[in-house]
Amino acid sequence: MAISTGGGGDDAPMSDINTTPLVDVMLVLLIIFLITIPAIVQTVKLKLPDVRYDPTVTKPENVSLSITRKPDGSCAVFWGQTPVTHEELLKRATDKLKEIVDKAGGAANLTTDDLPEAHIRGDVETPYRCIGGAIYTMQSAGFAKVGFISEPPPTGGPSS
């Protein structure tokens, strides 16, 4: 508490509050918040795609895979209409690419547009591990383009 040393001779206590420590603490807190908030709130700016779908251009050499879940929970992969195992899928995919490369007279005569694509149709109830396994297998076989086929929303429905 400060004592007044005014000219009156009476030693009376001052009623003023020293706000300097309060302002110092507030400034320190403000600086802490200004530094830590941007570090905590990190966002990645993304432009998400519209729900409108581009029509798929289907070439005869493209591979159509359908993936669903069996009643026992295991994965069922179909090459066209034929059920295949993981090993059969890898063998068929590599054989398909070898056949196209041989027809073209070697890999030097091909561009990525000449290579077939793998189109995957996945059932809504299919676990990701089934679809992810098929993607990995097709990429391991050498397929550079693996895409998903989906059903567009009904006409006149919401677009997002």
What ranges do the domains of the chain cover? 63-148
């581009």: which residue's tokens? 54
Q: Return the pLDDT at 145.
A: 87
Cα–Cα nearest to 93, from 73, 106, 104, 77? 77
What angle is formed at CA 133 by the lines to CA 86 and CA 77, rounded to 5 degrees? 50
Phi, psi (degrees; rounded to nearest 5) at 38: -65, -30
* CB within 8 Å of 59: residues ≥ 6 apart: 116, 117
Q: Return the pLDDT at 101.
A: 87
Amino acid at 71: P
Q: Return the pLDDT at 138.
A: 93
Whether CATH 3.30.420.270 fits 63-148 = yes
Cα–Cα nearest to 100, from 63, 137, 147, 148? 63
Q: Reduce the DSSP state of residue 146 to 3 states and report it.
A: strand
Query: In angstroms, rounded to a whole number, what is the distance separating the alpha carbons of residues 122 and 126?
Result: 7
At 117, list the tokens: 């694509």
Note down pLDDT in tens along the chain; length 160 residues: 555 565 555 677 777 788 898 999 999 999 988 888 876 666 666 565 555 566 666 777 888 899 988 889 889 999 988 899 999 999 999 999 999 888 888 888 888 778 888 988 888 888 889 989 999 999 999 888 888 877 666 665 555 4
Q: Return the pLDDT at 33.
A: 86
Q: Return the pLDDT at 160.
A: 46
Whether 149 and 117 have beta carbons less than 8 Å apart is answered as: no
